[in-house]
Structures are given as C-alpha cells and as structure tokens.
Amino acid sequence: MHLRCVRCDRRYPFDPLLWRCDCGGPLEIEGLSPFDPASLDGSTATIWRYRAALPVPPEVAPVTLGEGQTPLIPDRWDGRPLYFKAEHLNPTGSFKDRGASLLTTVLKEAGVERVVEDSSGNAGAALAAYAGRAGLRATVYVPAHASPVKRRQIAAYGAEVVPIPGPRSAATEAALAAVAAGAAYASHVYAPVYVQGMKTLAFELWEQLGRRAPSDLLLPAGHGTLLLGVYKGFAELRSQGFIGRLPRLYGVQATACAPLVRAWEQGRPVAAVAEGETVAEGVRISNPPWGDRVLAAVRESDGALLALDDRATLAAQETLARRGLYIEPTSALAVAALDALRDRLGERPVVVLTGSGFKTPPPAPDDWQRQAADFAARHGLRHGPAVHALDLVSEVGEVAKELLLATGYGTRPYRPRPALAGELGDALYSLLLLAESCDVRAGDALVAALDKYRARLAARSAAGSSKE
Ligand SMILES: [Zn+2]
C-alpha cells in the first residue's frame, strides 16, 4: 500500500498524516486488496463488514458508531421504480460517517491526539463525533454562514467550533494554519483514507440490490469526494468481474456555485467560480481540488454533471418529506435531478440521500418570500402596488426573521452577513416602488428618511465622543 500524487505521479510510502504531495497535488491510496465477497465480516452490520478492502490492518480496533448498512428504500418517481439510499440515517445524520469512522481509526492508531478539519457542517459533525469517541481533541473551522444547527451539533460532541467569516475557502485556510502549527489534518477532502470509506457505499448497494450495480446513481457533488469514492468501489467490483459496467454517475450541483458543471459543459479543466448563495450549503464549493478526477469518473461511467436552482431543490425537499423522508436541501438537489434526467434513467436508479433534515429543515410555513411568490402566482399578479407590497412584506420579513433568529430574539450579539445590507436595500427599494405606484413622490420620501437616519448617526457619534 502506498500513496500516489494525482497531479505529478510521485509515490510515497503510506503515511496516515500525509495529505498532500510536495507539488500541492492531492494523494490517492494504491495497492489495497480489492473487494472480495469471500472476505466479508459477517459479524458486523457497519462499514467494517468490508474491512478487508480498507486501509486498516486486521488487528486494529475500529472507532465505530454503527455507521453504514443504511436502508435502501424502494419508491417510484413519475411512475417509474427507483431506490433512495438513506444515508441521512447514519449516526451523525450524514454519509460522512463512513469516512470519519475510517479516518479517526487510522489517526488514533498512528498516535495522533489533536485533529483539525474545515467543514460547512456534515463533515465537521462526523469528525467531532468520532474524535470524541476515540478520545481525540478536535477543532472544526466552519464558515460563519453554516447552519447554526450543524454548528451546535459539532460543539455538542465536544469539538471546538471556530466560525470563520467570509467565503467557505477562508475556513480551509484557517485549518491549514493550524496544520502548519502541528495539528493533524483530518480533512474530508484531502485525507486519502477518507474517500476509501466512501467506497463502502458502493459495496453495500451491490449487496442490497442482489449483487447488481444500480443502473444510475444520483448524488449531490460539491468536492465530489462521495462520487469519487463510489466510483472507486464500483471500479473494484468491475475489475473483479462482479459487475459488467459502472452505474451511470450523476453529480448534481447548485446553479449558484457549479464549477464542475461549468467545466463539464465547456469541456475544460475545472477552475474556480464565484461562491454564490444557495440553500444547498453542503455543495457550496467554488474550487474543488479533485475536480478533474470527478469529471473523468463521470465521463467513464457515461453519466453527467448538472446544476439545479434552489426552487427545484426546495420543492424536492418538500416532496420527499411528504413521503416520510426528512432530508436537508443539499440532499434534495439530487432528488430534484430526477425530473431533469427522466428520459435517461435505466431500470434501477438509486438516489443517495446524503444528509438529515434535522440539520437544515425545510422553510417554515411562515416563509414570507415563498408565500408572497405563491400568492402572486395564484392571483396572476404582475406589476403594480400589490406586487410591490408583497415584495416588501417578503423582503422585510426575511431580514427581520434572520435578525431575530440569529440573535435569539435580541438576546445575543450578531455579526450580519455582508449580503444582508443588500437585502435590506432591496426592501427599501420595494417600499419606494410601492410608494411610487400609489402616486407618492418616492424621491421625497427617501430624502426625508435619509435626513432622519443621518441625524440619528450624528446624535450617536456626539453621545460617543462626550463619553471619552
Ligand atoms: Zn505531486
């Protein structure tokens, strides 16, 4: 068993702490025993059933919470049969437990005591739980915009949570600074062991489908490490002659942040894109380091990469909840892709439900924006006072709701997202349009409001300087 650089092909002896080549390229594990049904460990209903194909010697005790062996639920979509793989039922509520169980086992065995990770939530929660189980100290750097529920979950497992303002990549930089200072990087993106844990999903599906591969596999793709992991698993099954061909792999991204899809459509290498806002926060990755490998795996499988917007995602989340499947928006992305792929799917498609709805619930029934949009659509409203009023209600409602929730109804301090000022501006603009459509001279109103606000600022700074 050794490590090989994906970029420059350099080889290293296996080292559990090595996560990147000297050239900066990501590393892969090679030289493992391939999957063999004869070596399954029937004594456990976890990913450790497949331990003979994992990079852990047989005498090592796994750090486990019962991850893997999740239900494969038959269902129908648009009249056609399919399966949902219920990865949201893993111990910490996401598929990341497969990688975290394996990685913490390897790091603990290597004598590591302190681990760091950067994550928008699911990977951080998984690492925190397994590190706690293993008795390792964990620090998780999370983007300040990550779901508060996920942040609380990470902290509950005993990990130190460090919110990092700015884009998702800022959290990675913070983690790398800690790694440079001596911590072990337990990265769900870079650690070569992690993706090996994802392979077990392929083996499980093969067993659950009666020793057959799915015809198609739909999953959300941010970094694309889940996609790469299942690709590796099915490639092993194919190399051993257990399946004839790979399932078609469909990686689904959010329109607001879709570097893989852009490269796929343009036929170019993956390059960074702007990190737009999306409800699918788990795949909000602007520059995935494994991108080109993901594209190659999708191409080899005869699949595709596609992007969907938040509206389709939230609608899919609601549809699944009505069927008893409570998943987060990032997972719903892959479900939403079913409509787009309708005519391409084979006889046995599987959609991976990656994360639990407990972490990022569907919008509350008082979601102003959605209600206003629905109301306008129902009544055929286009322009004029009614629409401006609805816009105003929805925009002010959203801003107010965010402030109230983020501050615990005014009991906690809060550093607003930079975008919030813009959203407040949208609300003011809607107010002016409304005023205008009611024949109020909006310009006069705005000048009056600004005068008042300026006077307030002046009074506040006068009060501040008199204290000094
Ligand atoms: Zn290299």
Q: Ligand 1 centre and the CA of 222: distance in Å? A: 23
Q: Ligand 1 centre and the CA of 289: distance in Å? A: 13
Q: Ligand 1 centre and the CA of 9: distance in Å? A: 6
Residue 394: the pLDDT is 78
Using the predicted structure, report yes or no on whether residue 203 has a pLDDT greater than 80.
yes
Using the predicted structure, report yes or no on whether residue 445 has a pLDDT greater than 90.
no
More confident residue, 280 or 64: 64
Residue 449: the pLDDT is 79
**Which CATH architecture group holds 35-93+192-353?**
3-Layer(aba) Sandwich (3.40)
Q: Which of 43-57, 225-239, 278-292, 440-454 has the lowest mean pLDDT?
A: 440-454
In the predicted model, what is the mean pLDDT of residues 164-182? 90
Written out in words, the top-level CATH class of the domain with range 96-185 is alpha beta
> How close are the terminal C-alpha atoms of the chain, in Å?
67
Write the pLDDT tens digit of every residue in 149-172.
888 999 999 999 999 988 888 999
In the predicted model, what is the mean pLDDT of residues 335-361? 93
Q: Ligand 1 centre and the CA of 44: distance in Å? A: 38
Q: Ligand 1 centre and the CA of 249: distance in Å? A: 27
More confident residue, 306 or 453: 306
Percent of the chain with pLDDT strictly greater than 70? 93
Q: Do domains 35-93+192-353 and 96-185 have the same CATH topology?
A: yes
Residue 32: the pLDDT is 93
More confident residue, 281 or 251: 251
In the predicted model, what is the mean pLDDT of residues 13-19? 95
Using the predicted structure, report yes or no on whether residue 46 has a pLDDT greater than 80.
yes
Q: Ligand 1 centre and the CA of 88: distance in Å? A: 35
Q: Ligand 1 centre and the CA of 7: distance in Å? A: 5
Within 13 Å of residue 380, how many CA atoms lie on the same side as its CB? 0
Write the pLDDT tens digit of every residue in 47-74.
999 999 999 999 999 999 999 999 999 9
Residue 395: the pLDDT is 79
Residue 392: the pLDDT is 78
- Token pair 């109103």: residue: 445
Q: Ligand 1 centre and the CA of 211: distance in Å? A: 37
Q: Ligand 1 centre and the CA of 20: distance in Å? A: 8
In the predicted model, what is the mean pLDDT of residues 138-152? 88
Give the pLDDT band (50/70/90) at residue 399: confident
More confident residue, 459 or 219: 219
Q: Ligand 1 centre and the CA of 22: distance in Å? A: 6
Using the predicted structure, report yes or no on whether residue 198 has a pLDDT greater than 80.
yes
Give the pLDDT band (50/70/90) at residue 435: confident
CATH number of 368-467: 1.10.287
* Rg of the chain on CA atoms, in Å: 24
In the predicted model, what is the mean pLDDT of residues 258-274? 95
More confident residue, 131 or 281: 131
Average pLDDT, the chain: 90
Residue 80: the pLDDT is 94
Q: Ligand 1 centre and the CA of 2: distance in Å? A: 14
Q: Ligand 1 centre and the CA of 185: distance in Å? A: 18
| Contact (CB, 8 A) for 242 and 203 | no
Give the pLDDT band (50/70/90) at residue 239: very high
Q: Ligand 1 centre and the CA of 335: distance in Å? A: 36
More confident residue, 465 or 40: 40
Residue 438: the pLDDT is 73
Give the pLDDT band (50/70/90) at residue 385: low
Q: What pTM, to 2 d.p., does this model score?
A: 0.79
Q: Which of 142-146, 361-365, 425-429 has the lowest mean pLDDT?
A: 361-365
Residue 83: the pLDDT is 98
Write the pLDDT tens digit of every residue in 228-237.
999 999 999 9
Cα–Cα–Cα angle for 398, 328, 427, rounded to 5 degrees: 10
Residue 363: the pLDDT is 65
Using the predicted structure, report yes or no on whether residue 220 has a pLDDT greater than 80.
yes
Using the predicted structure, report yes or no on whether residue 365 has a pLDDT greater than 60.
no
Give the pLDDT band (50/70/90) at residue 370: low
Q: Ligand 1 centre and the CA of 463: distance in Å? A: 60
Residue 60: the pLDDT is 96
Q: Ligand 1 centre and the CA of 292: distance in Å? A: 15
Using the predicted structure, report yes or no on whether residue 441 has a pLDDT greater than 80.
no
Which of these, 163, 90, 85, 162, lies nearest to 130 by C-alpha position? 90
Residue 377: the pLDDT is 66
Per domain, the residue ranges of the chain are 1-31, 35-93+192-353, 96-185, 368-467
Q: Ligand 1 centre and the CA of 295: distance in Å? A: 19
